[in-house]
Amino acid sequence: MPNSLIDFRDWTKTDLEQVLELSFSIEKEKNSEALKNKSAVLLFFESSTRTRMSFELACHRESMNCALMTMKSGSSLDKGESLEDTVMNIAAMDPDLFIIRVDSALNLEQISQKIQQPILNAGWGGYAHPTQALLDIRTLMKKGMKISDIKMLIVGDVKHSRVAHSHFQLSEKLGYQVAVLCPDEFKPSMAVKRFVDLNEGLDWSNAAMMLRFQFERHSEKHADQDFKKYQLSLKKLESWKNRGWLMHPGPVNYGVELDHDVESYSKNVILEQVNSGLWIRRACLRKVLGKK
Ligand code: CP
């Protein structure tokens, strides 16, 4: 069994299917003592609402103790201590698990070799956001989709998206299809099926994963038109031949990648993704700590 979840490379199809199954079975339990007396340290060095709150709630509902540090918390990071030294010092306090969100300033692979505790990646730069990809697939399974039938179109700023990169990996492990729809300047570096026409992309897919443009990761300024080119509105969704699922990892920039009116689209599952996040994160906590 893999120790950490930094990306999916060390996770087998069976490991991943077990986490998905566990996320459904624990849905019957509001609270559990499965991880009682275990302690988690949450280090959120980048902003987060969904991931941070769902990991905190997941820890509480598993009866864990958790301690949180953010960039803004008045830690010794203010005094010039490095992120790596921060993790090493907290590891010396012997928690059972780290949950870390960070940009490229910290290498999660390298730090995982230096500490004893497992790491759950809660979003690492533009590289990987594995629990997000798992919760996306769980959301579609909850809607009755077979994994092998999923054809997910990932739309927008694919190049900078850790969610897209995690889906590229997860789709190979679990056997679903992924394609991207993006302008040239936002295409990923790896080979992946790509559309440039919105209608062609939608016609191929049965789920559209819309992405926020990650302005904080852009090295140059782009024209507004680049961001609105593939915007989905209720009208476009209603004319989608496949009437697929509308997804977004959040946060949504309404008026950019999505029009405000998509809220009333009947197959909008954006908030259901958020709900799935809680169960996936509880399941991941149990998996890396070796509990069923
Ligand atoms: N999807 C996601 O990672 O959202 P947050 O940045 O709010 O955690």
pLDDT for res 287: 96
Give tens-digit pLDDT for 176-215. 999 999 989 889 999 999 999 999 999 999 999 999 987 6
pLDDT for res 214: 73
Q: What are phi and psi of 238, to 5 degrees?
A: -65, -25
Residues with a CB atom less than 6 Å from ligand 1: 48-52, 123, 132, 249-251
**Which of 42, 44, 49, 102 best tests ligand 1's pocket when mutated (most atoms within 8 Å of CB)?**
49
Compute the distance from residue 48 Cα to the ligand 1 centre, in Å: 5
Compute the distance from residue 251 Cα to the ligand 1 centre, in Å: 6
Q: Is the pLDDT of residue 223 over 70?
A: no
Mean pLDDT for the stretch of residues 208-227:
76
Nearest Cα residue to atom 1 of ligand 1: 249
Atom of ligand 1 nearest to the CA of 46: 6
Mean pLDDT for the stretch of residues 55-78:
93
Give tens-digit pLDDT for 11-54. 999 999 999 999 999 998 889 999 999 999 999 999 999 999 99
d(CA 229, CA 50) in angstroms, rounded, equals: 27
Q: In what order do the strands lie in the sheet with 177-181?
A: 194-195, 177-181, 151-155, 207-210, 245-247
**Which of 47, 48, 102, 269 best tests ligand 1's pocket when mutated (most atoms within 8 Å of CB)?**
48
Atom of ligand 1 nearest to the CA of 53: 8
pLDDT for res 1: 54
Q: Is the pLDDT of residue 217 over 70?
A: no
Could you tell me what percent of the chain has a pLDDT over 70? 95
Atom of ligand 1 nearest to the CA of 132: 1
Confidence of residue 74 (pLDDT cuts 50, 70, 90): confident
Give tens-digit pLDDT for 157-187. 999 999 999 999 999 999 999 999 998 988 9
Compute the distance from residue 132 Cα to the ligand 1 centre, in Å: 8
- Measured CA angle at 121 (ends 105, 220), to 5 deg: 45
Compute the distance from residue 248 Cα to the ligand 1 centre, in Å: 10
Q: What are phi and psi of 99, to 5 degrees?
A: -120, 115
Nearest Cα residue to atom 3 of ligand 1: 51
Closest Cα partner for 6 from 95, 91, 125? 125
Nearest Cα residue to atom 5 of ligand 1: 48
Atom of ligand 1 nearest to the CA of 101: 8
pLDDT for res 72: 72
Beta-carbon contacts of residue 74 (< 8 Å; ≥ 6 apart): none
